[in-house]
Amino acid sequence: MSAVPGDPVQTDRADAGDVLLDVRNVVKSYGASTVLDGVSLTVRRGETVAIIGPSGSGKSTLLRTINHLQAPTHGFVVLDGDVIGYRVGPRALRQLSEREVLRQRTRIGFVFQSFNLFPHLTAVENVAEAPVSALGRDRAESTRTATELLTRVGLSHRLDAYPRQLSGGEQQRVAIARALALEPELILFDEPTSALDPELVDEVLSVIIDLARGGTTLVIVTHEIAFARRVADTVIFMDHGKIVESGPATQVLDHPTHARTQEFLALVR
């Protein structure tokens, strides 16, 4: 298999400190179209990072590249010292098998904007399924854990409901519990409230805020600026596939230095 073009492969930087996620010079292209253009960022353990920006700026593609749903054209992603999707060779990266990539993905939870629940499974079955199928855990044990997680997100009374019987907010909370069931090191959220009616948004955001306060490492693509200000340690503004500005939430949201960030925030406030 061919090597992925990129920087020299060194996954044990001396200055890494408590960095959990390290995205290094990631480019994602489709033919002549470049969706991500040299994106680099680090996320520390327990940190919450909010990514904002206009539609088409590459935010969702970045998340999908982090957990290797889409392989980078250039650059690579390191999670706790392991390159996602590749094996480190003496001179280059080599692609892992799909089975090996799926195993790596169990370390990264992903909550989609469209829920993606199995329609033929109940809430508790949806949450219990991944630990059984992906990690080979005992089903009875997984069901007990799923019940605890659904209780944690306020759905102890909806264990046996099917997705069609749940509101959008309830479905998204099931999706969050499902992500937690694999005990991931990192959870990615892709516009977790964009498919919800306005009155259901707060019930989902409150669960995410509780996760952040509990020390779970989160990367959240969101259009909710007030939520980003409340929950994020770091805010990243993206435009045209690049990180334009990043820093503490109060700095980026209240005192942005880049003209493009200022223009965007003036439109969405």
- Mean pLDDT, the chain, rounded, equals 92
Residue type, 226: A
- Which is more confident, 3 or 180? 180
* Domain limits, the chain: 115-183
Q: Contacts by 78-86 with C-beta closer than 8 Å and gap 24+?
A: 78/11, 78/21, 78/22, 78/23, 78/24, 79/20, 79/21, 79/22, 79/104, 79/107, 79/108, 79/185, 79/186, 80/20, 80/107, 80/185, 81/11, 81/12, 82/11, 83/9, 83/11, 84/108, 86/4
pLDDT tens across 187-222, in order?
A: 999 999 998 988 899 999 999 999 999 999 999 999
Confidence at residue 17, expressed as pLDDT on a 0 to 100 scale: 60
Confidence at residue 193, expressed as pLDDT on a 0 to 100 scale: 92
What is the pLDDT confidence band of residue 11, given thresholds at 50, 70 and 90? very low
What is the pLDDT confidence band of residue 94, given thresholds at 50, 70 and 90? confident
pTM higher than the cut 0.85: yes
Task: Check whether 3 has a pLDDT greater than 80.
Answer: no
Task: Check whether 8 has a pLDDT greater than 60.
Answer: no
Confidence at residue 180, expressed as pLDDT on a 0 to 100 scale: 97
What percent of the chain is predicted at pLDDT more than 70? 94
Confidence at residue 92, expressed as pLDDT on a 0 to 100 scale: 77
Confidence at residue 269, expressed as pLDDT on a 0 to 100 scale: 74
pLDDT tens across 114-128, in order?
A: 999 999 999 999 999
Task: Check whether 76 has a pLDDT greater than 50.
Answer: yes
141-164: string of b/e by CB count within 10 Å (b at 16+)?
Answer: ebbebbbebbebbbbeebbebbbe
